[in-house]
Chain A
Amino acid sequence: MTLATVDAIHRARRINGFDVERVRGDFPILARKVHGKPLVYLDSAASAQKPRAVIEAMSRFYEEDYANIHRGVHFLSQRSTDAFETARAKVARFINAAKADEIIFTRNATESINLVAQSWGRKNLGPGDEIVLTELEHHANIVPWQMLRAEKGFEIKVAPIDDTGQIQLDDMAKLIGPRTRLVAVSHMSNALGTILPVREIVRMARAQGALILIDGCQAAVHKQIDVQALDADFYAFSGHKLYGPSGIGVLYGKYALLEAMPPYQGGGDMIDRVTFARTTFKEPPHRFEAGTPAIAEAIGLAAAIDYLAELGQSFIADHEDDVLAYATERLAAIDGLTIHGTAAEKGAILSFTIAGAHAHDVATILDQQGVAVRAGHHCAHPLMDRLGVTATARASFALYSTRAEADALTDAIGAVKRIFKL
């Protein structure tokens, strides 16, 4: 190859804005082999792999700056506190929150939703009240509400999905009424990839005076999130799906709402003054962060956000759309394969079943060829019931996924069909 050709290729890549081979080099784990085959990691919707920038930021923090936060006056405590609060500010900018104090660090998105249920919900929900969920919610946005319902006696309404896996706004409109206190919906389905019309849903909730909580676990990875433009009251997501570490999640809440909410866990770092007679609490977000938080994980999450910003979220989205479209085309051409989730608005998730082969058998056979997919109910039993299946196999694509990996998936499905004589 001449230098001029190389240069032309580089130019083309720059115009295209995204060089997936270069990006793959940022993720050390992608170089490993599994069962003697190159790893084809198609399970990023369960948890994404980590770029070197995240791994190194956390190591560096432990090697150079680590101490507990908000406590000591010593040098390292100051460094650590600054890094932690800088991470908070970075998360705020990432989703365009009005201020850093609207960002609460949690363990994961599940804890973020539980926080809203146990703090806002416990204070504000009671007999006669209703909340609205959808049929495609992850268990994390179902079970916390059921647990609270058992104590508080409010009602849970469920918006159905159509056969493409999308919510119909007409159905939603019928369920949201004057008794509705909260609408809690996924922004993007973890099992189907459906992107829900959240702006319209927010408007409906607003019109009835209800609050809106959005589970953004999947959407925050694939779309640029602007919580102010969305006018969301609460927005939850996790670090580990966003190429950051596990053990850290985020709850965004409008500050005025957070101010009116009681703490849901008590302990150190969330108090203003403690006596045995009475304790006063700090302002949000600290009121909701009892005990030593995941400090290095916050630093890691901030590094992941920097990394995404450097690549450009719109370039990432275009790239993922391309791989999803290509993979959809390849899988749709396979005899006996059904794709679940065919909504017009979809993120990079492909859920499928193969007639005559159970999803777990499919996943085991794919795994032996280095192809990692999730098989099961995807923590969405009600959705599986609606689809009339017990399990699906799910391939999910990330910024480091390639068309060649979609080909590898297609070939590996060929092996399933050979073994099962389909």
Chain B
Amino acid sequence: MSDLRDLYQEVILDHGKAPRNFGHPSGANRTAHGHNAMCGDTIDVFLTVDGEGRIADAAFEGQGCAISVASASMMTEMLKGKTQADAHHLFEAMHALCTGHEDEADLANLDEDTADRMQILAGVRQYPMRVKCATLAWHTMDKAMNHTAKQDVSV
């Protein structure tokens, strides 16, 4: 049970229950659809990238477990104001953390709050069957970021 409290921390339960940035902003100009074939979770990520290449707005819609919804919700909060390169860096760090390659996750350049939140999400690495729940939103975001036409992602 104590292990489970690490996975289902207050912040995860909170974001899972009341996700932030949930919806489809009309100005979104980068979007991708993500799908986890194993469990049926789906997500649409909507990014609004401004003229200087910064993420002015990030939002999502979708259905999934507490981990996947919380991960998407926390991700959208972290993305606002980031450049495309920053966003890709976050994706790589998240992926490394969740797959047990902490040494490859370059967290040094991240602010403390972002690094802490990523570590909380990465608690999922103790549950290999659930890693994709946490990473689906991030894969989808990374794909959206790199294309102006709508993308499909399967994990």
Contact = CB atoms under 8 A, between A and B. Distances in A.
A360 B124 CA distance: 13
A364 B127 contact: yes
B39 A361 contact: no
Nearest to A362: B65
Interface string A327-371: 000000000000000000000000000001111110011001000
Interface string B12-43: 01000100000000000000000000111110
A361 B67 contact: yes
Interface string A364-399: 110010000001110001001000001100000000
A419 interface: yes
In the complex, which range does the number of interface residues on chain A fall in? 20 to 34
Contacts, number: 51
A62 interface: no
Contacts of B40: 376-377, 381, 384, 390-391
Most buried by A among B7, B13, B66: B66
B39 A375 contact: yes
A375 B127 CA distance: 15
A422 B75 CA distance: 25
A211 interface: no
B100 interface: no
Nearest to B7: A364
A358 B66 contact: yes
Interface in B125-146: 127, 129-130, 133
Interface string B42-64: 10000000000000000000011
Given A361-B66, A390-B63, A419 B5 contact: yes
Nearest to A391: B40
Given A360-B39, A419-B8, A420-B13, A368 B3 contact: yes
A415 B5 CA distance: 11
A421 B4 contact: no
B107 to A, nearest CB: 26
A365 B129 CA distance: 13
B1 interface: yes
Contacts of B17: 356
Contacts of B38: 376
Interface of A: 356-361, 364-365, 368, 375-377, 381, 384, 390-391, 415, 419-421
Q: 3 tightest A-B contacts by CB?
A: A358-B65, A360-B65, A377-B40
